[in-house]
Amino acid sequence: MLSNPYIGGLVTKLFRSDQPIICRLVDGSLIKEPSMPTSTYVSPTRVDNLNTDALKVRVFAVDKRRKPSHAERKKKLEEEIRLLESGVVVLKTRGLPPQLLLQKDPLLRPVAVEFSTLMYSINTQQLRVAKMQSALSQCLTDQQYYPLYSHIKLTKDWKERRGTLLAMRDQKIRNALNFVMGPGGINDAMKKQSSQNQFENEEGDLCCVLFDTIQFPGVKSLQQVYDALSFYKNNMEIIITEQLGHITIREDYDEVNEAAFHTRILSTNEDGITTEGNVVSFRAMLSDGYDGEPCAVMVGDSVDEDDKYPYLSHRYVRKDISTAVVLTENRNTGEKSDVVVTMRRAAFYKVRRPEFPVTFCELENLRDATTQWSDVMLKTIRGILYPTKTNN
């Protein structure tokens, strides 16, 4: 350290000059050293050469990312430790049976316990759902519990009979629409779906519950499909005879301004056994029937008691039905001209146990023919809508 004030001032002056001078202290005197070659180059990083704007740029370029806290670093390290420990355990327990694997792996045990608890809860819920489905299916083993069914009795008087049909028409159509299109019954209109459940009830009757969702793409309109379905209904006996070979006779007892129909149908199969059905049916085109959109509804139900035309169970096998068909119109996404009409169909068929002797094979043929008429109806509609295409 320099104590001489003169020397200190000289040194200060020397170092404040534009050209630095290198000196050496010898015996109390400053000796000038030869200066190094100078250059006109000035480093851009030299502090006294930085201007204010450069300083601002440098300040804004500073990395402002938040540094992880101690707790975050600790958590990350703990996760890495667990991964490493799991890897070590996997290497040690590779090839062991599941029971020994749980004993050897302390990290896997709590996960396995939690997984087992979750699976037990899922299985419990599935069992409850299965019990509810079983209870519901038991409710549908008889036609009187089916939502489309209602007890129908017709007297001998024609005026009363027509009044009975017209009185139930609106309620029948409303029930059919609510049952087929309501919550739990609605499904994707653009996907084909089908379910069928055949069983024998306690009385020995042959029963079948049917649900269908069928699409008719590329048709002209909802009205076109409705007309095709009406054609089948109006010519059912001829079509059944041609398609199945069953001699079918239809007796139109009454028709009320195309609003209500009462029909008796006799059909004899290849075994010579005749089934009889006494059915009332209703049709309607609704401009705002479902979700504010137009739809068509057809519903049919069997007559339970008919004083004028009673069932002849000693000669014929009684066949009861409760059916509903709902037609809706959709369009394919991106194809405004491609109309798709969806037919949703729900039905309960019941062939009463014959009151006269039949063989086992004859009874099985009656069982197999339970849903044949539904298949013929679908085939007929497709043949009308796609006359030049092969029916699948």
Task: Encode pLDDT of 33-66 as tens digits.
Answer: 555 555 554 554 454 554 555 444 444 445 556 6
Element (H, E) at 30: strand 29-32
Q: Do 333 and 208 fall within a single domain?
A: yes
Per-residue pLDDT reduced to its tens digit, 140-190:
556 567 888 999 999 999 889 999 999 999 999 999 998 888 765 556 777
Residue 43 belongs to some domain of the structure: no
The tally of domains found in the chain comes to 3
Q: Do 124 and 188 fall within a single domain?
A: no
| Pairwise CA distance, residues 345 & 341, whole Å | 13
Residue 390 belongs to some domain of the structure: no
Q: Do 233 and 201 fall within a single domain?
A: yes
Q: Do 175 and 205 fall within a single domain?
A: yes
Per-residue pLDDT reduced to its tens digit, 86-123:
777 676 666 666 666 666 666 667 777 787 788 888 88
Residue 69 belongs to some domain of the structure: no
pTM above 0.75, yes or no: no
Domain limits for position 119: 80-138
- Give Cα separations from 201 to 4, 145, 208, 250, 317 (angstroms): 125, 13, 10, 28, 16
The stretch 73-90 carries a mean pLDDT of 81
Cβ 173 vs Cβ 148: under 8 Å: no
Any idea what the CATH number is for the domain that residue 366 is in? 3.30.530.20
Residue 270 belongs to some domain of the structure: yes
Residue 42 belongs to some domain of the structure: no
**Longest distance between any two alpha carbons in the chain, whole Å:** 149
Q: Do 5 and 123 fall within a single domain?
A: no
Between 4-13, 57-66, 290-299, the lowest mean confidence (pLDDT) is in: 4-13
CB-based burial, 266-296: b 16+ in 10 Å, e otherwise: bbbbeeebbbbbbbbbbbbeeeebbeeebbb
Residue with tokens 């086992």: 360
Residue 317, Ramachandran bin (φ over 0: left; ψ between -120 and 50: alpha; else beta):
beta
Q: Do 160 and 11 fall within a single domain?
A: no
Q: Do 120 and 151 fall within a single domain?
A: no
Q: Do 250 and 292 fall within a single domain?
A: yes
